[in-house]
Amino acid sequence: MLRMDDSIHINFQLLEAHELPEDERSLLRKALEISESAYVPYSKFQVGCALQMADGEIIRGNNQENAAFPSGLCAERNALFYAGAHNKIPGLRKMAIRANSLEKVIDQPVTPCGACRQVMLEYERIVGQDIVVLMQGKEGKVLKMKGIAKCLLPFGFDIAF
């Protein structure tokens, strides 16, 4: 419910990887592994996304580009749409997103684009609980957030607003 004057407080943690529990470190490693086979002849920017499901399954995706530029797709949506296509969204619990450039080492977390956030938001509503999102470059600190609506996309589009 919106009030006339209000504000939103966004919680996040910027952590060293070793401060995370083992399942999250493992998810981050899998996201980096899959980023290495991204198809990025145009941007040279590789992104990998690994989804941790409640039953232990890990679903991976990376960015795929195309000479007809809008035809490519981000790593996050490739992973999420695969999960959606296989009716697995209710089991989604955590997401790890890793990015690196073929031209220079990315040592800071990269956050998902607006279109991916909107997809994450809608799937979080289906899940019915906050999704944990871990973001990291090829090296460096990990940005950790809990809740797409709370942290990554407050005021996201909702057809049933």
Q: Are 124 and 148 in contact (CB under 8 A)?
A: yes
User: CA torsion 122→124→125→127, rounded to 10°?
Assistant: 130
* Residue with Cβ nearer ligand THU (39 or 129): 39
Round the CA-based radius of gyration of the chain to a whole number and report it. Answer: 16
Report the nearest approach of ligand THU to the CB of residue 144 (Å): 16
User: For residues 26 and 64, which CB has a smaller minimum distance to ligand THU in the complex?
Assistant: 64
**CB of residue 68 to ligand THU, shortest distance in Å:** 13
65 labelled catalytic: no
With respect to ligand THU, which residue has the nearer C-beta, 7 or 107?
107
Token digits for 153? 């996309």
CA 108, CA 9: separation in Å to the nearest integer? 23
**Which helix or strand (DSSP H or E) is residue 41 part of?**
none
Using CB under 6 A, list all residues that contact ligand THU.
Answer: 40, 43, 45, 47, 63, 65, 72, 74-76, 112-113, 116
Catalytic residue among 24, 33, 36, 76: 76
Q: Which residues are catalytic?
A: 76
